[in-house]
Chains A and B, each alone.
Chain A
Amino acid sequence: MKARDKPTGQKVKSILDRYQRDSGMLVSVLQDVQAEYNYLPKKSLAQVSQGLDVPLTQVYSVATFFKAFSLKPRGRHIINVCLGTACHVRGAVGIREEIERELDIKPGETTKDFKYTMETVNCVGACALGPIVIIDGKYSGQMKTDKVKPLLESYD
């Protein structure tokens, strides 16, 4: 966890204040906490539970339900590999394997230096561009295995 802000509590407090501690805004609060820390630290979940006066059980249920939330620290760059049908038939599995080899992580995992996290999705609605890889929201279409390494290296 080097070069990473320790959860301070102050940041979560200001997020809670921004939503007037409205328990109906639980998902939005968690999204903002995740945007702040890149994941949902255990301490912040307890703080959100207290701040919104929502049982910790409910906060934990919501945090574990949505795939967009992560309870584990994630990398600075989020790689999404599309494995939808169109991408799949155009060789998306090969792309995923190339990234796995290049970074030595499996889908859902984060590299040891917290640089990359790889995830898979089942269609991003850009089938004409398949196979497609999305890094930090930026789409790279018509991927080929030999384009994987240069693409990854373009991020620091």
Chain B
Amino acid sequence: MVTLTIDGREVQAEEGTTILEAARESNIYIPTLCYHEEVTPYGACRLCLVEVARNGREKLVASCLYEVAEGLRVKTNSERIASNRKMIMELLLARCPNNKAIQDLARQLGVEKTSFKLEDKQCILCALCVRVCQEVVGVSAISLVNRGVDRQMATPFYEPSDVCIGCGACAYVCPTGAIGFEDVGDTRYIHWPNNKMEFKLRKCKTCGNYWAPEKQLDYIIKKANLSPDAFDNCPDCRD
């Protein structure tokens, strides 16, 4: 265990954990968009920036990536942080001016308008979907492709993915709701920002409701070594 100071409060944290984790543990709020405790931190959104003092100099670091250290002094809300964070928020707002999640967070951080040229995107390229698909689902159907201003979230060649199981985890974790996800009748539709896919749903043998994608159920059966009929019934009809 190491002891560090966050906003003047002494905080204990496990070695190897990050400032963000230590802060959350102590109920100290740091805004984030691309962070999720289940996946490797990525440092994409930069909203979690904090100031750390080292060798008498203070520098801005992404708290989701910066590891705690003995005697570390951290500030989470200095003037410098606030102005930098506002700038980041302005840039995000310029990219996604019509996104509810971005609008709400901007307002919360005191950003009402942006001075940058407006685009009309929903995705902030935080790669949370990519990480969840790879690390949690274990499939890796999507990734960030191209470079610079052409960077996009997509499947290889923008084609329907062979490996995607239609679980919708990407849509579930997306901080801006940029990924659409809908079950209509016997079909699940997943709308990514740059391409889309359809999945056939399995019908429950008892109640007849369509309840989960065939591919996802087959994947779980294979992965967990279940019997092939494990998912014949939906969760409501299982005894």
Contacts and interface: CB of A to CB of B under 8 A. Distances in A.
Interface of A: 42, 45, 55-61, 64-67
Nearest to B142: A57
A138 B144 CA distance: 35
B134 interface: yes
Contacts of B141: 57
Contacts of B156: 45, 56-57, 59-60
B117 interface: no
Given A57-B134, A57-B140, A59-B156, 19 more contacts: A42-B157, A45-B156, A55-B134, A56-B163, A57-B130, A57-B141, A57-B142, A57-B155, A57-B156, A58-B140, A58-B143, A60-B143, A60-B157, A61-B143, A64-B145, A64-B147, A65-B146, A65-B147, A66-B147
Interface string B143-167: 1111100000001110000010000
Interface of B: 130, 134, 140-147, 155-157, 163
A67 B157 CA distance: 16
A67 B147 CA distance: 9
A59 B144 CA distance: 11
Nearest to A55: B140
Nearest to B150: A64
Nearest to A56: B156
A55 B130 CA distance: 12
Contacts of B147: 64-67
B140 A61 contact: no
Contacts of A60: 143, 145, 156-157
Contacts of A64: 145-147
9 contacts: A42-B157, A56-B140, A57-B141, A57-B142, A57-B156, A60-B145, A61-B143, A64-B145, A64-B147
